[in-house]
Amino acid sequence: MPLPLVQEVERPGIIDLGWGHPDPGSLPAEAWSTAIAAALRRYGWQALTYGAAAGPGPLVEWLCDRLSRIDGAAPTPSATFVTSGASQALELVSGMLVERGDVVLVDAPTYHLALRIFADRSAELHPVPVDRLGIVPDATLDLIRELERRGKRVALLYLVPTFGNPTGASLGAERRTALAALASQTGVTIVEDDTYRELSYVDTSPPSLWSIAHGDRVVRVGSFSKSVAPGLRLGWLNAKPGFVRRLAERGFVDSGGCLNHTNALAMAEFGASGGYDDHLAVLRGLYRQRRDALVSAVRRHLGTDLATPDGGWFLWVPLGDVDCRQLLLSAERRGVSYLPGTNFFVRPEAGRHYARLSYSMLAEPVLEEGARLLGAALTAERDAPMQR
């Protein structure tokens, strides 16, 4: 049997609404081949040697210009560091900021694999206070003060405030401003996962926390995994120049230079040529249609009135009094799967009545059928207590 080539995301007979992966047909193999060839023609051997530690100038300059246009505030090159994707950026930032036993504050719910990254650093994870609009800044300030009174060191606050994973929701402007002020007041660094910003299906996206705070006490993490292709392993972060400088001086970085030099130069070509904008336009149209299809199907088959997210890949579906773990067993027997809400909380029971559904990988008819099967499973689970 041959060794695996890619992550296995398909199970025979299962419509899997759990995977937060791009549509394989959307991955720009031909356009990327052109970008790689252009980078090799332009830079020759320099595209294949050790790169500048913080990332090659052409991509850093393109990123700064790009972010100034889509977010309204331009990071300087000295505040920009090229990474091998957002996950590696979180690992690098954790290595800089988190020591064993430190407290890491996280949104509730939040990206489940970020919880793993911080736990791997032996951090003590604490959920922040939330309401229906998201994180509550005043209550979060009270929590930080209480933790400090108990002798705890709060290393950072992590959240995905724009088209978030798993909810698809975006934090409002007032709370963003309040969080920026909180970081300045307490000295706690906010790690803003901005991975989904480019997957916007509306004209205007919320400003980043990084831009509101002018980079003070905020580290912004970005990625091309969702907007181009995850196999590139390419992303970036924005932080104060001193932080970027210390990151570039770490042994792991100094040993090998730029963390993904050749692909970084190809991305600079892809962006400068207009290929990135063309690709994004196609993606946004594709995912907007799939979002609309799944929202409509969930409302129809599950009887659930849920908000339509303005971007990203996910729906956060309330299940009433049905436990998401029990429902998953019934759903998979019918041929549909999802990620249970318990995955996305420090205290799993807080998510027991929710499911995360993704619309990124599957065509509209498959999304419709998946929602129909899930609705049948949900109805059966609701009826089950009366039958027992």
Question: Residue 347 above 90 pLDDT?
Answer: yes
- Measured distance CA(154)–CA(330) in Å, rounded: 41
Query: Residue 370's pLDDT is what?
Result: 98
Query: Residue 44's pLDDT is what?
Result: 98
Quickly count helices (H) and strands (E) in the chain. 13, 14
Chain segment 41-83, per-residue pLDDT in tens: 999 999 999 999 999 999 999 999 999 999 988 899 999 999 9
> Residues 179, 191: contact at Cβ < 8 Å?
no
Reported confidence tier of residue 9, pLDDT bands at 50, 70, 90: confident
> Residues 345, 291: contact at Cβ < 8 Å?
no
- Measured distance CA(12)–CA(18) in Å, rounded: 15
Helix (H, G, I), strand (E, B) or coil at 235: strand
- Stretch 229-233: mean pLDDT, rounded? 97
Query: Residue 11's pLDDT is what?
Result: 83
Q: Among 10, 22, 7, 14, which Cα is nearest to 358's?
A: 22
Residue with tokens 């400088």: 245
Q: What DSSP element (H or E) covers 330?
A: helix 324-334
Mean confidence (pLDDT) of the chain: 96
Chain segment 97-136, per-residue pLDDT in tens: 999 999 999 999 999 999 999 999 999 999 999 999 999 9
CATH topology for 15-20+277-387? Aspartate Aminotransferase, domain 1 (3.90.1150)
Query: Residue 288's pLDDT is what?
Result: 98
Please confirm whether the linkage preceding 56 is cis (ω < 30° from 0): no
Q: What percent of the chain has pLDDT over 90?
A: 91
> Residues 382, 322: contact at Cβ < 8 Å?
yes
Q: Among 191, 226, 223, 195, which Cα is nearest to 210's?
A: 191
Q: Among 18, 63, 293, 62, which Cα is nearest to 194's?
A: 63
- Measured distance CA(346)–CA(158) in Å, rounded: 13
- Stretch 216-221: mean pLDDT, rounded? 97
In the chain, domain spans: 15-20+277-387, 29-275
- Stretch 316-326: mean pLDDT, rounded? 97
- Measured distance CA(124)–CA(72) in Å, rounded: 35
- Stretch 332-354: mean pLDDT, rounded? 98
Which residue did the predictor score with more confidence, 385 or 35?
A: 35
The pTM of this model reads 0.96
Query: Residue 373's pLDDT is what?
Result: 98
Question: Residue 368 above 70 pLDDT?
Answer: yes
Query: Residue 10's pLDDT is what?
Result: 76
- Measured distance CA(91)–CA(98) in Å, rounded: 10
Query: Residue 385's pLDDT is what?
Result: 62
**CATH node for 29-275:** 3.40.640.10
Q: What DSSP element (H or E) covers 154?
A: strand 154-159
DSSP, residue by residue, 240-272: -HHHHHHHHTSHHHHHHSSTTHHHHHHHHHHHH
Chain segment 127-146, per-residue pLDDT in tens: 999 999 999 999 999 999 99
- Stretch 209-222: mean pLDDT, rounded? 96
Helix (H, G, I), strand (E, B) or coil at 198: coil
Question: Residue 386 above 60 pLDDT?
Answer: no
- Stretch 263-281: mean pLDDT, rounded? 98
- Measured distance CA(371)–CA(42) in Å, rounded: 49
- Measured distance CA(240)–CA(50) in Å, rounded: 24
